[in-house]
Amino acid sequence: MNLLFKALNDPIRRDILDLLKEKDMSAGDIAEHFNIGKPTISHHLDLLKQAGLVTSEKQGQFIIYSICTTVLDEILQWLYSIKSN
């Protein structure tokens, strides 16, 4: 869960999730929306993957990233359990 909160703590990573919420994208497509280098985008994507917030799939010569909401469902359940106590 610490990785999840670390991943969500950064505004760029939250913006990446907002982009992926709309459609699946390659790292290059994602990088076009930011004024930072592709290696930095790759670092952010790696942290999001480690946290379970995104998945990746190789399609031809590209890696396509998708948002994964399963871990968000789990954290929401945990937060609701705290609230109900």
> DSSP 3-state assignment of 3?
helix
Residue 30 contacts residue 42 (beta carbons within 8 Å):
no
Tell me what the mean pLDDT of segment 64-70 comes to: 95
Pick the CATH number of 2-84 from 1.10.10.10, 3.30.1490.20, 3.90.1150.10, 3.40.50.720: 1.10.10.10
Q: Within 10 A of 41 (CB to CB), how many other CB atoms are there? A: 21
| Percent of the chain whose pLDDT exceeds 70 | 100
pLDDT at 84: 85
Q: If 0-12 CB within 10 Å is exposed, 13-18 middle and 19+ buried, where does residue 64 land?
A: middle
* Residue-range domain boundaries for the chain: 2-84
- Please give the model's pTM, rounded to 2 decimal places: 0.89
Which stretches of the chain are assigned E, i.e. beta strand?
A: 25-26, 54-59, 62-67
Radius of gyration of the chain (CA): 14
